[in-house]
Amino acid sequence: MTMEDNEIAEKIQQLIIRHRDLDMAIEALIESGKSDVLQIQRLKKQKLYLRDRIASLENDLVPDIIA
């Protein structure tokens, strides 16, 4: 792995942690019964953005194979 690959892998790990934290925050809001629908929607949107960003970075790690 090159230095750039290591940096990408580290960034992916950070984003995965943030994604997991958002998931736990959403669950806590829903379980509390005092959930603000708008706030939950915002958190879910952030979670989707993180998922897409993670997928994009993972694609950067996979070398292009020309068939």
Residue 28 has pLDDT above 70, yes or no: yes
Question: Is the distance from CB of 14 to CB of 54 less than 8 angstroms?
Answer: no
Q: How many domains does the chain have?
A: 1
User: Quick one: pLDDT band at residue 24, thresholds 50, 70, 90?
Assistant: very high
Give the amino acid at 32: S
Looking at residues 8-28, what average pLDDT do you find? 96
What's the domain range around 35?
3-60
Evaluate whether 47 touches 16 at the Cβ level (below 8 Å). Answer: no
66 within domain boundaries: no
Query: Is residue 15 one of the residues assigned to a domain?
Result: yes
Query: For residue 33, is pLDDT > 90?
Result: no
In a domain, 24, yes or no: yes
**pTM of the predicted model, to two decimals?**
0.84
Q: Residue 60: is its pLDDT beyond 80?
A: yes
pLDDT at 49 over 80: yes
The answer to whether residue 67 sits within a structural domain is no
Any domain includes 38: yes
